[in-house]
Structure 1
């Protein structure tokens, strides 16, 4: 049945000024009219006093890391507990107004499937399956004493698959094909060291251009793309030369590299919320104390990278990268980005620009006729008070695919 959302201020995600009192018509899961008069007798959802925005998108999540990481890596948790934590994470993500996420490593297609089927509540999930990383590189989380051959046994078929160890072009081709076989819609590679790493340095480069290019070739053959975890510019340059389309983190990106990214149409997804999470409470996540020292070294660089990317005209998405058991405040990334730039810039990154990066710009990301009806309502304007982005109690309405999945008006 057609449903009119009336009485709210609408922020369409395109970057223009909010429009007060604008009605939105939803039919068969899509937006079929924005503005106009509501006919007599129509089904009306009264949104008076609310601000409606497009469904939020988190372009960098790790649902497969929803438990204490140390306990998870060392098999101290049952599969039932791991699954319960992942299901709860999916539900609270949707409750926070995120109707779509891109999981950048850690889940098996089984999780995406049960959410899509409606068996558990959660956002629309695009995922890469297991991340492709080199032996001893970022993503190889095993302790030093564990034989490398044992790493594959950390996978839980149907639920979790963190990374596939990949060394050489032939292994890259085989593992890229395996990731797609398992349901991946894109590939993710780790091309530099990382913050949450046990066997490398942030200054390390990982994978050769030849190895990265093989992944790009396999992704292109399927109409997909490659994104890369990368902190240092040497790794970013290698990845761009090989043809990747997105960089995660990018904490060393400067004007020169940003210009190269713009020239090659490579997007950037900064991830600041996880840095603040690690700095605030590294133990709860299940990480050793020295990881916080690493996190401190990249925060300012990532902020500088955002400004350099903006100057160069790079498309900038938004990702939280939250890990561990406390992923309740996914909207923290928008709060931080509102301070780095503006609340409107943060919102557009989390909606229209993220939709473009995910390849879903024709379907989601804005409140426009023809788009899927993913709409979130806040009880006050997040443009006036960005703190509400991270307050689930202020998210009073969530519409996903035209269905009301949360209503606390």
Structure 2
């Protein structure tokens, strides 16, 4: 792989340190050196641009890139669903996100197809289908549709949103099936959700004993469980069972935050999806009920973020965007930067997310030896975080040492 040097950029390395004007040398897909190397090779002129690590979105749904209700009522062909998934993957890369954690919707074939370079997209870690209890969050079949028909909505190798379990034994079988199909971690829904038709945010789902089965199976494979959870009872059940991460965490109170911090459980808030549902649920292919379910969530999630931060919880960043309009994934950084410093937000989207995903020491920071995942921004997003939200401001994107986007 070619060696080149990026010169002239202001480097924000993702660690939280102050920006520095240093050159970055890339060789064999990795960062070889910081500072002028004097090496021969191509020079990439980045004068006036700001360099950050490739961004990481810890909560994506590539498999929900089509309008939601038509997708789950057999109105769309597999070809159209595939086209939407791969278009979203490319748009994610163009927005400056070089790594994502897919928290439900794609099957293993999408991960390997992107990894082989057959379509453009970020590095993808996937849980495969989300693990849900019968009648719980993650089920989008019609009310009259028998549960056993739900798997007919799966498209092998492409899309598989969720599998339903009625007890611990069924959950164990479904978890093992998820791993067989390529999952690298597990996700369980342990409370109701905002985008759901058969549950409420106040519902708890799965018992501690059931969640512990998934934790046991994940640990046997050297990986972890994250949980979709909005209310405190569901979060506490998951922490007691050994889950390592909480998605959303809308109603986290102080005792729950302290419990999470004590057990080393991370939090991934998701503001962008709430903003989109409050503004235009139809854009995601959902009806007006989604807007009413999202009312008040943004304010409560804001309080939960502050409470978790005060307790010392490790906090990542995820957009949770659904439907066709996923090209402005950086909106999550813009929204978060209004609630904390832009530097804190960037660290969440790089170094901290890499830790949560189990990729610490591989990506997330601009340092010698790490993968050369880099983004050159038009301007300084620490001074104007709105730059993160517009993919046109990601002038150059480098993934594993390859320039995959260049608007210079």
Deviation for aligned residue 1:42: 3.1
The answer for the alignment partner of 1:75 in structure 2 is 74
**Separation in 2 of the partners of 1:297 and 1:148?**
31
Q: 1:72-151 maps to which residues of 2 (within 5 A)?
A: 72-151=71-150
**Secondary structure of 2:193's aligned partner:** coil
How many residue pairs match? The answer is 407
Contact 1:23–1:38 (Cα < 8 Å) also in 2: no
Residues 1:11 and 2:12 are matched in the alignment: yes
The answer for the alignment partner of 1:30 in structure 2 is 30
Cα shift readout 1:326-377 (whole Å, capped 9, x = no counterpart): 1111000000000011111110000000000000001000000110000001
Contact 1:193–1:230 (Cα < 8 Å) also in 2: yes
Contact 2:190–2:204 (Cα < 8 Å) also in 1: yes
Q: 1:247-262 maps to which residues of 2 (within 5 A)?
A: 247-262=246-261
Deviation for aligned residue 1:178: 0.7
Runs of 4+ aligned residues of structure 1 deviating over 6 Å after TM superposition are none
Normalising by structure 1, report the TM-score.
0.98
Q: 1:219-230 maps to which residues of 2 (within 5 A)?
A: 219-230=218-229
The answer for the alignment partner of 1:243 in structure 2 is 242
Q: 1:175-324 maps to which residues of 2 (within 5 A)?
A: 175-324=174-323
Deviation for aligned residue 1:35: 1.4
The answer for the alignment partner of 1:57 in structure 2 is 56
Residues 1:2 and 2:23 are matched in the alignment: no
Contact 1:4–1:38 (Cα < 8 Å) also in 2: no
Cα shift readout 1:246-274 (whole Å, capped 9, x = no counterpart): 00000011221111101000000000000
Cα shift readout 1:145-192 (whole Å, capped 9, x = no counterpart): 112121010000010000000121111111111111110000000000
**Separation in 2 of the partners of 1:174 and 1:145?**
25
Cα shift readout 1:58-82 (whole Å, capped 9, x = no counterpart): 0000000000111101110111111
**Separation in 2 of the partners of 1:210 and 1:347?**
37
**Separation in 2 of the partners of 1:273 and 1:178?**
31
**Separation in 2 of the partners of 1:277 and 1:336?**
12
Structure 2 gap ranges (5+): none
The answer for the alignment partner of 1:337 in structure 2 is 336
Deviation for aligned residue 1:310: 1.0
**Separation in 1 of the partners of 2:147 and 2:59?**
27
Residues 1:172 and 2:171 are matched in the alignment: yes
**Separation in 2 of the partners of 1:43 and 1:78?**
45
Could you say what the CA RMSD is over the residues aligned between the two structures, in angstroms? Answer: 0.8
**Secondary structure of 1:110's aligned partner:** helix
Cα shift readout 1:271-326 (whole Å, capped 9, x = no counterpart): 00000001111112111212111111211111111111111111100000000111
**Secondary structure of 1:340's aligned partner:** coil
**Secondary structure of 2:349's aligned partner:** helix
Structure 1 gap ranges (5+): none
Deviation for aligned residue 1:37: 4.2
**Separation in 1 of the partners of 2:265 and 2:101?**
17
**Separation in 2 of the partners of 1:366 and 1:52?**
11
Q: 1:153-168 maps to which residues of 2 (within 5 A)?
A: 153-168=152-167
**Secondary structure of 1:334's aligned partner:** helix
**Separation in 1 of the partners of 2:312 and 2:366?**
24
Contact 2:25–2:37 (Cα < 8 Å) also in 1: no
**Secondary structure of 2:227's aligned partner:** strand
**Separation in 2 of the partners of 1:300 and 1:402?**
40
**Separation in 1 of the partners of 2:205 and 2:155?**
26
**Separation in 1 of the partners of 2:172 and 2:73?**
30
Q: Structure 1 residues 160-169 or 287-296, which shifts more? A: 287-296
Q: Structure 1 residues 284-293 or 128-137, which shifts more? A: 284-293
